Chain A
Amino acid sequence: GENVEQHPSTLSVQEGDSAVIKCTYSDSASNYFPWYKQELGKGPQLIIDIRSNVGEKKDQRIAVTLNKTAKHFSLHITETQPEDSAVYFCAAANDYKLSFGAGTTVTVRA
């Protein structure tokens, strides 16, 4: 089955700096890679996603890159702000299964 590994497990950055979270997956049939942000007491919320036919996608301060050959994908947050503090999950899906990474707790220091 699919195995998604996520690193780092915790990340502390100074406000205004960039944050990068990396994930690897094992199933070459995976074709959809969403990223979710979870704030305290809330459910995960989709922030960006990418499909296997695209190498990079950007939405304002957030970007995701995908390397299908190496089976890894990354989330980049630029110009971090205090409201970016949260737990972030990567995930990989094929046509019938969605597997999540263990999560990264991001803390943005003012």
Chain B
Amino acid sequence: EAQVTQNPRYLITVTGKKLTVTCSQNMNHEYMSWYRQDPGLGLRQIYYSMNVEVTDKGDVPEGYKVSRKEKRNFPLILESPSPNQTSLYFCASSAAGINQPQHFGDGTRLSIL
């Protein structure tokens, strides 16, 4: 089954404790991205990757890091999480770029205390 898999689905942690949210897709997609969803703001792009070893900032990249060492994986790293990063996070992939249908994971709800 074609899918985007995120882990963990839920996480409660404390300020400053480094965390990684993993994302993996099995569709051989070139393009991957991370979004955060906050009430009344829709989805805002954090980082994206056009291909392996190619990453770039989205609209709200501050406080986040990503890497794309393999085509299928695109982890999101919060080096020193803060409460304003409490949000619902989605990973997405598409065959080739931003103006193609995006396939989303089921989300990761992060709470930073």
Residues of A within 8 A of B4 (CB): 43
Shortest CB–CB separation between residue A79 and chain B, in angstroms? Answer: 25
Q: Is the CB of B90 within 8 A of A32?
A: no
Interface pair B106/A42, CB less than 8 Å apart: yes
Q: Tell me the count of chain B residues lying within 8 A, CB to CB, of chain A.
A: 21
Majority secondary structure of chain A interface residues (helix, strand, loop or mixed): loop
- A32 surroundings in chain B (CB, below 8 A): 99-100
Chain B 87-108 interface residues, beta-carbon cutoff 8 Å to A? 90, 92, 97-107
Q: Which residues on B sit within 8 Å (CB–CB) of A6?
A: 42
Identify which of residues 7-42 in chain A touch chain B, using a CB-to-CB cut-off of 8 Å. 9, 31-32, 34, 36, 41-42
Given A34-B102, A93-B99, A98-B45 contact (CB < 8 Å)? yes
| Chain A residue at smallest Cβ distance from B99 | A32
Query: Judging by beta carbons under 8 Å apart, are B98 and A98 in contact?
Result: yes
Please measure, in the bound complex, the distance between the C-alpha atom of A100 and the C-alpha atom of B97, giving whole angstroms: 16
Contact A95/B97 with A42-B106, A43-B90 known, Cβ cut-off 8 Å:
yes
Question: Total interface residues on A, using CB and 8 Å?
Answer: 26
Q: Is the CB of B107 within 8 A of A89?
A: no
Indicate if the CB atoms of A43 and B106 lie closer than 8 Å. yes
8 Å CB contact of B98 from A41, A89, A95: A95
A43, B4: Cα distance in complex, Å:
10
Contacts from B to A (Cβ < 8 Å): 4, 40-45, 59, 90, 92, 97-107
Shortest 3 CB-CB distances between A and B: which pairs?
A43-B104, A32-B99, A100-B42
Given contacts A9-B40, A42-B107, 11 further A-B contacts (CB under 8 A): A34-B101, A36-B104, A43-B90, A43-B92, A46-B103, A49-B101, A95-B97, A95-B99, A96-B98, A97-B45, A100-B42
13 sample A-B contacts, Cβ–Cβ < 8 Å, listed by A number: A1-B59, A6-B42, A9-B40, A32-B99, A36-B102, A43-B4, A43-B92, A43-B105, A43-B107, A46-B101, A49-B101, A98-B102, A100-B42
